[in-house]
Amino acid sequence: MMKVLLTGFEPFGQENMNPSWEAVKAFPELMEDVEVLKICLPVSFQKAVMILEQTIDDYRPDVVLSIGQGGGRYEIEVERVAINMADSKKPDNDGYQPQECQLRADAPNAYFSNLPLKRMVEAIQDEGIPATISNSAGLYVCNSVLYTALHLVYSKYPNMQAGFIHVPYLPCQVVGKNKQPSMSTETTVQALIAVIQALMACNQMV
Ligand code: PCA
């Protein structure tokens, strides 16, 4: 049994939906040999990280897979790196707007995801869904969530794997936006299922 913590985010900015939480919500409850815990994180630098850390300590997942809205992205993007930095052009949902703030003192400048990223991208592409590796998760709340999960991997839970996937807007979010890319929840869920199956295969659990 592989224990997976699957996280999405609440809406932020001008949006009233977040494709990441829509996909996590719709992810199948029952998958063979997989136990999934789903949580919706607030778009808050402070709270998201606290809730994530507490949930990892309590649930002790094998895999933490966090999903976030990557508005403007054309493909499913599997993130490679998290940076020890928070810097934001817009306030988070608590009104906090960090400017070049370190996330953790006495911790490395960056961490790489320890998930098999190329395998994950291939698994998504094999479904006929566009996907790529991204080398920047930005410096907003998504990056801080990935950084925190990886900090726990490298400092506390060496057998845990952690990664982050940015997904495009939902079709309903781009109505009236000028030529913005989008992807349906159904397609995003199909991609996430393929990713989990690929991780099961890599971890030789199937
Ligand atoms: N995307 C934002 C934060 C929450 C979300 O869904 C980001 O890319 O940082």
pTM of the predicted protein model: 0.97
Catalytic residue status for 77: no
Q: What is the pLDDT of residue 82?
A: 98
Torsion angle (degrees, nearest 10) of CA 78, 139, 92, 75: -30
SS3 category, 173: helix
What are the pLDDT digits (tens) for 53-108? 999 999 999 999 999 999 999 999 999 999 999 999 999 999 999 999 999 999 99
Q: For ligand 1, atom 8, name the residue with the nearest CA.
A: 142
Element (H, E) at 163: strand 161-167
Q: Which atom of ligand 1 is nearest to the CA of 70?
A: 8
**How far is 84 from 63, CA to CA, in rounded Å?**
21
Q: What are phi and psi of 175, to 5 degrees?
A: -65, 125
* Portion of the chain with pLDDT greater than 70, in percent: 99
- DSSP per-residue string spanning 40-86: EE-S-HHHHHHHHHHHHHHH--SEEEEEEE-TT-SSEEEE-EEES-B
What are the pLDDT digits (tens) for 100-126? 999 999 999 999 999 999 999 999 999
Torsion angle (degrees, nearest 10) of CA 55, 154, 65, 52: 30
Element (H, E) at 36: strand 34-41
Q: For ligand 1, atom 9, name the residue with the nearest CA.
A: 142
58 contact partners, CB below 8 Å, separation of at least 6: none
Catalytic residue status for 79: yes
**How far is 192 from 171, CA to CA, in rounded Å?**
18
How much is the average pLDDT of 16-36?
96
**Cα of 169 to ligand 1 centre, how many Å?**
11
**Cα of 36 to ligand 1 centre, how many Å?**
21
